[in-house]
Each structure stands twice: as C-alpha cells, then as structure tokens.
Amino acid sequence: MKILSILILFFITSCAYNPQRPDIVESSSAQRVQTVQAAIVVDVKSIIISGDRETGAIAGGVIGAAAGQSITESDVESGIGGVIGGIVGSSVGSAIGNQITQKDAIELFLELESGKVVSIIQAKSQYEFQAGQSVRIVKSGGKSRVLPN
C-alpha cells in the first residue's frame, strides 16, 4: 500500500502545472528583459495541446504490475501477472494521463511588420483574438506569447 501511495503522489506531482496561457508567466520570467514585436492576426484556429502520456504510462505500468503480481501465490504466475498487469496498466495510464492533461488552445497566424507570417500556439485564456487585430508578441527564453494591444 505504501508503494501505491508513493506512485500516486509521484503521478500527481509530475503533472505539475506548466503555464501555456499568455496571461500566466513563470516566476523565472520576472525581472528579465523580454523582446516585444508588433504583429497583425491573420487567422486563429482552435486546437488541443496533447496531454502527458509518459507519466501516465509509467504510473499505470507500475501500478498494473504491482496489482498483477499480487493475484496469486505462485512465483511463475505472479511474474506473468506482473508483466501482463504492467502492459495493461501502462496502456490505460497513458490514455488517462493524456486525457486529464490535455489543454484547449489556439494557433495564431501572425503577420510581422516584415511581411513574414508566423504561427504561435498557446493555451486559451481570457483574451479573444480575431483576424485584423493588432497584437504584441513577447519573447523570452525561447518561448513566445501573444497579447492584445
């Protein structure tokens, strides 16, 4: 039971929130110079950012293996049960991990002042974007976010 509790805690903490909304920034971005670029929205598409399959697969595999191994007293059957339980648990955990960590998002197609068109994907937020709208692209540490003017 202790192992199961530890694995569940590991799964929950590994799904820690990673801000992908433009109105939420990581604390490491505070008090740092960021570059800002003007752009015009060309198009906006609704998309879904896939969830974290890996963490779910690992947690599900470990939990499934532990459950499968405990179904019998026989060493051989316990080994087989553990392998089968691990495979099934990994598959189920992967699907669950993906489903519960997916994010609704938008893909913004933006025309820069140079005429070049770029695409930026970010989680949905309180901001609404539409074609022809003037926006700012804020870049910092390899990440970009789009904010209305």
Domain range summary for the chain, segments of one domain joined by +: 20-49+103-149, 51-101
71-123 tens-digit pLDDT: 777 777 778 877 887 888 888 877 777 677 778 899 999 999 999 999 999 98
Residue 103's SS3 state is strand
pLDDT band at 16 (very low <50, low <70, confident <90, very high): very low
Amino acid at residue number 111:
E
The domain 20-49+103-149 is classified under which CATH number: 2.40.50.840, 1.10.4160.10, 2.60.40.10, 3.90.550.10? 2.40.50.840
Q: Helix 53-69 crosses helix 75-101 at what angle (to 10 degrees)?
A: 150
Q: Both tokens of residue 55?
A: 């963490």
Per-residue confidence (pLDDT) for residue 13, from 0 to 100: 47
21-65 tens-digit pLDDT: 666 667 666 757 789 999 999 999 999 887 777 777 788 888 877
**Distance, CA of 22 to CA of 61 (rounded, Å):** 35
